[in-house]
């Protein structure tokens, strides 16, 4: 599976962690990134990229400046550009998600049920989610992408319109079949799985999911994070990071120690916290 996304400005700091975590949980993963200031990025990250190469992880970087169009938002590039790395299946997501699941093991259930892509329409019926998994040959080449990116600002609305223009947008009947399959694989719930910990500056670590998404700090995700941090080659990975990425690692270290201080005997996933002045009340967020 190809993991294809865009990272510009400070978001490029997340790239080493995105690659490392994804490769640990998806051993056959391939990577392609759309970035700005490509030359500067390659120079600044020469050591970590050499480390990845020594591990047999080849990453393709493309400059957004070389593309023929300029959308209103940088995160729209990931939906507009066709990957140069050919793969049967492609996952487009957010670079600030630490992937903690094997995605092909999940999505193959949909592709074997004859879906060309897996994504759920938002409640307003005009948008898809920003996490998009699909069959390469069914999705590309795109149609009217340059025209649509000039008239649609929101990246998720743009994705919706791109699939509609291509003629592959799932109709209402197929959408119901897709939703039913999602329920089958998620204990009867209609969920948009983010497949990891979403360390976004636009989110809080904990929040009411009925109001706004948070980081997704389930005990399962944190246990995978702890396992990866304890991996035998993680120290070498850390030593290869530049200063900015090393500073970002401090956030993961906080999550690691937080996980280590949780009550491991709790049986439910996420519970309501009790009003308690001690640190121990945080255990009630996890199983």
Write the pLDDT tens digit of every residue in 138-159.
999 999 998 999 999 999 999 9
Residues sharing a CB contact under 8 Å with residue 194, sequence separation 6 or more, in sequence order: 97, 131, 213, 216
Smallest CA-to-CA distance from 225 within 80, 57, 72, 21 is with 21
CA distance linking residue 109 with residue 182, whole number of Å: 10
Higher local confidence (pLDDT), 246 or 272: 246
With 80 as the cut, is the pLDDT of residue 271 above it? no
Pairing of strands 30-35, 2-7: parallel
Give me the pLDDT at residue 163, please: 96
Lowest-confidence region among 68-72, 201-205, 259-263: 259-263
Q: Percent of the chain having pLDDT more than 90?
A: 71
Smallest CA-to-CA distance from 62 within 93, 35, 29 is with 35
Burial 92-129 (b: 16+ CB within 10 A, else e): bbbbbbbbbbbbbeebeebbeeebbbbbbbeeeeebbb
CA distance linking residue 287 with residue 269, whole number of Å: 4
Averaged pLDDT, 118-130: 85
Give me the pLDDT at residue 190, please: 77
Encoding tokens for residue 150? 């000039």
Lowest-confidence region among 17-31, 201-215, 230-244: 201-215
Give me the pLDDT at residue 272, please: 41
* Per-domain residue ranges of the chain: 2-217
- Topology, domain 2-217: Spore Coat Polysaccharide Biosynthesis Protein SpsA; Chain A (3.90.550)
CA distance linking residue 138 with residue 222, whole number of Å: 35
Phi/psi for 32 (5° steps) reads: -145, 130
Q: Count the neighbouring beta carbons within 10 Å of the beta carbon of residue 200.
A: 15
Give me the pLDDT at residue 134, please: 97
Give me the pLDDT at residue 69, please: 85
Lowest-confidence region among 18-32, 115-129, 160-174, 263-277: 263-277
State the pLDDT confidence band at 54, using cuts at 50, 70 and 90: very high
Q: Which CA distances in Å does 176 have to 86, 165, 182?
A: 30, 21, 10
């Amino acid at each position: 599976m190809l993991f294809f996304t865009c990272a510009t400005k400070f978001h490029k700091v997340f790239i080493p962690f995105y690659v490392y975590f994804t490769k640990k949980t998806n051993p056959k993963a391939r990577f392609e990134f759309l970035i700005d200031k490509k030359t500067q990025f390659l120079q600044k990250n020469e050591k970590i990229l050499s480390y990845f190469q020594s591990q047999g992880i080849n990453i393709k970087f493309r400059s957004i400046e070389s593309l023929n169009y300029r959308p209103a938002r940088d995160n729209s590039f990931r939906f507009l550009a066709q990957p140069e790395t050919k793969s049967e299946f492609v996952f487009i997501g957010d670079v600030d998600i630490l992937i903690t699941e094997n995605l092909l093991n999940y999505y193959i259930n949909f592709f074997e049920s004859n879906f060309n892509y897996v994504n759920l329409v938002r409640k307003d019926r005009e948008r898809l989610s920003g996490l998009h998994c699909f069959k390469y040959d069914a999705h590309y080449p795109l149609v009217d992408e340059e025209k649509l990116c000039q008239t649609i600002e929101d990246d998720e609305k743009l994705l919706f319109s791109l699939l509609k223009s291509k003629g592959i947008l799932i109709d209402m009947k197929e959408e119901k079949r897709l939703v039913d399959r999602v329920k089958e694989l998620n204990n009867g719930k209609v969920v948009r799985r983010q497949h990891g910990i979403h360390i976004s500056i636009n989110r809080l670590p904990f929040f009411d999911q009925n109001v706004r998404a948070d980081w997704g700090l389930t005990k399962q995700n944190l246990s995978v994070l702890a396992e990866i941090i304890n991996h035998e080659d993680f120290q070498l990975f850390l030593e290869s990071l530049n200063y900015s990425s090393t500073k970002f690692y401090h956030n993961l270290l906080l999550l690691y120690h937080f996980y280590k201080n949780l009550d491991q005997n709790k049986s439910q996933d996420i519970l309501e916290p009790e009003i308690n002045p001690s640190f121990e009340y945080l255990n009630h967020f996890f199983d």
